[in-house]
Chains A and B, each alone.
Chain A
Amino acid sequence: MSTVKTIAADHYPRIYLYRRIVQAKLFIDRFYAEKIDLDNISDEAYFSKFHFIRLFKSIYGKTPHQYLISVRIDKARELLQQSKSVSEVCFSVGFESVSSFSGLFTKLAGKTPSQYIAECAQRKNQVAANPLAFVPKCYAFMHGWDENSNFEDAHQ
């Protein structure tokens, strides 16, 4: 194990920088639903705000603010799939205004939250009515899930 660590250390560029940026990212992942002051994150990471944003973007392809928004919208998708109301989801993922949430959601997801809820509900109903329609037939056959379907009949 020590040999492996030595090899890594030889090639590991700016290890302390990576650890601080990753910790900031994990902080956003964990506390996305709360009021996050990105200035505080850069302070805790011992970076100037500008340096912090530049390094974060170089690693994750987004500024910390853009990343926070994307995490909130991703979490919102999960909650909307559970048919929760738009306003409930908006506040539970950390947005303070339904209109700004709806606007950002529409921009990133390509549909309004209400449209998204309706599409998810429709798919959920289709899955409940005919789950095998969502599984490639070869897998259903391998698992024996098709035994009550006419899949094998088609091959006879």
Chain B
Amino acid sequence: MITKMTVTNIHVIDQDSAYDFYVNKLGFKLVDDIPMGPGTRWLTVSPPGQPDLQLVLFPVTVSKLFPKEDAEALIAMIKRGIFGCGVLTCNDIFATYEELSAKGVEFIKVPTKEFYGTEALFKDDSGNYFSLQPINNFDRP
């Protein structure tokens, strides 16, 4: 029986820049930052309230996984903002929006009431976008 998701990826273009974005701007906690050879590292972070979920800031570089053509195509798509990485929740969306905006996070949708609740959208430093919603949007009977 599967019980949890423990590790998942966010494909990023530059790990140094991603570190700055996720740790210094979003306030995520660094879990591992382990050098793995020239120009590459195992870099994972967790949302502050979810220490048992590691997000791998997975660099799109030419490797066994990504032949040159694939790496270039994927980087181009990430930059174009094709990939949505999921929903991040917060206690207060207006305060979170104000804080992240003050830190320079680029919002493509400010907090807006939708039929499912209030939502904002922002991009990370690579171009991946996230939905930001208050936790009570997910209250279920």
Contact = CB atoms under 8 A, between A and B. Distances in A.
Given A131-B34, A131-B42, A59 B110 contact: no
Contacts of B113: 11
B110 A8 contact: yes
Contacts of B5: none
A134 B118 CA distance: 39
A46 interface: no
B95 interface: yes
Interface string B81-96: 0000000000110110
How many interface residues does chain B have, given as a range? 20 to 34
B99 A134 contact: no
A45 to B, nearest CB: 13
A143 B98 CA distance: 38
A145 to B, nearest CB: 5
B64 interface: yes
- Across the A-B interface, the 5 shortest Cβ-Cβ residue pairs: A8-B110, A144-B64, A142-B65, A22-B98, A59-B95
Interface in A1-50: 4-5, 7-8, 11-13, 15, 18-19, 21-23, 25-26
Interface in B45-86: 56, 58, 63-65
In this complex, the member of B56, B95, B111 whose beta carbon has the largest number of chain A beta carbons within 10 angstroms is B95
A58 B134 CA distance: 14
Interface in B4-40: 7, 32, 34-37, 40
Nearest to A56: B95
Contacts of A144: 63-64
Contacts, number: 71
Given A7-B110, A139-B56, A134 B94 contact: no
A98 interface: no
A110 interface: no
B110 A5 contact: yes
How many interface residues does chain A have, given as a range? 20 to 34
A142 B62 CA distance: 11
A99 to B, nearest CB: 27
Nearest to A138: B7
B112 A11 contact: yes
B42 A139 contact: yes
A134 B40 contact: no
Contact of B32 (A7, A19, A134): A134
A127 interface: yes
A76 B7 CA distance: 26
